[in-house]
Copies of this chain bind each other. A is one copy, B any other.
Amino acid sequence: MPVGGFVPLNLKAVAGIRIGTASAGISQTQRDDLTVFELAKKTQVASVFTTNKFCAAPVTLAKKHITESSPRYLLINSGNANAGLGDVGLLSATQCCEVLADKVNVDVNQILPFSTGVIGEHLPVDVLVGGLPSAIDNLAEDNWLSAAKAIMTTDTCEKGCAKVIQLNGVDVTITGIAKGSGMIRPDMATMLSYIATDMPIAGDVLQVMLKAAVDVSFNSITVDGDTSTNDAVILMATGLVNTASIDSIEDSRYADFLAALTDVCCFLAESIVRDGEGATKLVTVKVEQAASVKDAKEVGYTIAHSPLVKTALFASDPNWGRILAAVGRAKIEELNVDEISIYLNDVCIVESGQRSPEYTEEQGQSVMNQEDILIRVVLAQGLYSASVLTCDLSYDYVKINAEYRS
């Protein structure tokens, strides 16, 4: 169960996007594991992909196709990552795209493939393409929730977000879904996420917006520090709202749209952490007054990745010495330990680099007992800040990853 419990999703359709899902039998479970997105002609597509150098075959192929042509279909399977398989993996991904291209009558490079699941096992091409007719048959605009379910692996709940905003009096929809629970430390990319809008936006502007939104959302979360081989975020703009296109970042609607898109991305990213493998707490590590954003993120990630901090959070133990030790080992140039303050929510635990004289164990305990915790570190070094979202490390994290082959 995600931290905060299950919340029903209300995912609004986006004009120009149809989705079909099917149970092809790639994953071991009975549920849907195959998803096809159909994009209206002239849809603009922006993307960010994993920086893991061992990127999966579908990532390599999707990056190639997106430069060659205008995407018309996304083909997504769960249950198998098609990663670590070299040329055989690339051939499998190509074959799947070819079969779909043939069925829907587009060029093969108008299909973007995505896979998520076990690394290093051969993608069962026949099984996958066997599910395609059924997925194509049920293509419909209102299948976002089905898709959010079909892309899951160890996720315990589907993740999605929809938002309607007004731009110059015109209603614009942004709807997105995401999957991810473990192997989460996105780096200039994220786990799988698909976001669409009916707003007309030029391709280059769309890419700038996606990058900006991803940096403060998917690129600021971590469950276990492991960057996946298959991460990708796709942003589609169908342009079917009858209004002028956003063709430049000077457009007055740029900032409003970006703000809404960022909200959607942050909500999806937070949903991934809330559903982090074994998570019982949602923890925001906010580092303020750093000499650079890079320093702030480095300190934030050092705390967020510390198994000792994470197990203390699981135990609801206000063991601030572990936070302090993590700050002290962060790889940043300058750190004046005598000026650092650390807060748990509003409780000051460290002041001028040492235990705050007013701090009591009871105060720390009352914060730690909560499900949503803010660790705020004030470095007193400069003007920059950054937040990293993470979760605790529990018995269930070990159980899930010792028992599940991902």
Contact = CB atoms under 8 A, between A and B. Distances in A.
Interface in A345-373: 350, 352-355
Contact of A118 (B85, B321, B397, B406): B321
A52 interface: yes
A53 B328 contact: yes
Contacts of A146: none
A349 B140 CA distance: 43
Q: Can you tell how many copies of this chain the complex includes?
A: 2
A120 B317 contact: no
Contact of A54 (B88, B317, B328, B402): B328
Nearest to A353: B86
B405 A319 contact: yes
A54 B308 contact: no
Given A315-B402, A398-B394, A306 B225 contact: yes
Contact of A52 (B307, B312, B328): B328
A225 B52 contact: no
A123 to B, nearest CB: 12
Contact of A314 (B89, B393, B398): B398
A229 B81 CA distance: 41
A225 B398 contact: no
A227 interface: yes
A322 interface: yes
A398 B279 CA distance: 13
A166 to B, nearest CB: 41
A183 to B, nearest CB: 6
Contacts of A320: 84, 120
A182 interface: yes
Interface centre among A224, A307, A405 (most CB of B within 10 A): A307
A54 B324 contact: yes
A226 interface: yes
A270 B312 CA distance: 26
Interface string A198-242: 000000000000000000000000001111110000000000000
A157 interface: no
B401 A312 contact: yes
Nearest to A306: B226
B319 A53 contact: no
A272 to B, nearest CB: 16
Contacts of A89: 354
Interface of A: 51-55, 81, 83-89, 118-120, 182-183, 185, 187, 224-229, 305-308, 311-312, 314-315, 317, 319-322, 324-329, 335, 337-338, 350, 352-355, 393-395, 397-399, 401-403, 405-406
Given A53-B327, A187-B329, 19 more contacts: A52-B325, A53-B328, A53-B337, A55-B328, A81-B321, A84-B355, A119-B319, A119-B325, A120-B324, A182-B308, A183-B308, A183-B325, A185-B329, A224-B306, A224-B307, A225-B307, A307-B401, A317-B402, A322-B406
* Nearest 3 A/B pairs, CB to CB: A119-B321, A86-B354, A54-B328
